[in-house]
Amino acid sequence: MDLEHLYRASLEKWGREAQFDQAVEECAELIAVLKHYRRDKADATAVIAELADVTLMVGQLTWMLGEDEVRAAVAEKSLKLESLLAR
Ligand SMILES: [Mg+2]
């Protein structure tokens, strides 16, 4: 199943609110594992697994809210970062 089909199926099965709740939960898990990784209480594999979860949820919400809009916002923020780096 490609990602767009996965996102559509997830939205249909669990609903919009659950997608936001899941994204929050996955972000919290990434935050926790990063704190543990920094203190050598978790390995890179655990961080990678949480990055994968968050990546999927970012993809899900991006698909739900508008891929073009997110792409434009990323481009705008990249320019801002570029200008900060040039200082
Ligand atoms: Mg997770």
**38, 32 Cβ separation under 8 angstroms:** no
pTM for the model stands at 0.94
- Looking at residue 1, what is its pLDDT? 87
Ligand 1 centroid to Cα of residue 29, in Å, is 5
In the structure, ligand 1 is a single-atom ion and the residues with CB under 5 Å from it are 26, 29, 50, 53
Ligand 1 centroid to Cα of residue 68, in Å, is 26
Closest residue by Cα to residue 22 from 51, 52, 61, 48: 61
- Looking at residue 43, what is its pLDDT? 98
Domain ranges of the chain: 3-85
Q: Residues 8-29: pLDDT tens digits? A: 999 999 999 999 999 999 999 9
Structure tokens at 68: 């073009």
Ligand 1 centroid to Cα of residue 84, in Å, is 32
- Which residue in the block uniquely carries the two structure tokens 């996965």? 6
| % of the chain with per-residue pLDDT over 70 | 100
